[in-house]
Copies of this chain bind each other. A is one copy, B any other.
Amino acid sequence: MKIEQAFGLALRNSRTERNLSQEKLADISGLHRTYISLLERGAKSPSLITIFTLAKALKVKPHHLIHLTEEKLSEVDT
């Protein structure tokens, strides 16, 4: 699994845990819904700034999103 795919899974999990639609997350974060969809599918790699923006909108710490990403990566590697 690629790093951006693992991030996409981490993002989708965090979003659905908060019962947010992609549209709602787009509203809160100020990012475009299409961009959020691309991130969740691992088709785009977010910048540091985008990671912080998404974390704020999801009310989690940015390092938590990255930690989740590492977990998704290791689930496949092991």
Chain A positions near chain B (C-beta within 8 angstroms): 3-4, 7, 45-49, 51-52, 61-64, 66-67, 69-70
Are B70 and A66 neighbours in the complex by a CB distance under 8 Å?
A: no
Whole-angstrom distance from the CB of A45 to the nearest CB of chain B?
5
Are B52 and A62 neighbours in the complex by a CB distance under 8 Å?
A: no
User: In terms of DSSP, what is the predominant structure of the interface of chain A?
Assistant: helix
Are B48 and A46 neighbours in the complex by a CB distance under 8 Å?
A: yes
- Kindly list chain B residues whose C-beta atoms are within 8 Å of the C-beta of A70: 61-63
Choice from B7, B48, B62, B64 contacting A45 with Cβ under 8 Å: B48
- Kindly list chain B residues whose C-beta atoms are within 8 Å of the C-beta of A64: 63
Whole-angstrom distance from the CB of A40 to the nearest CB of chain B?
13
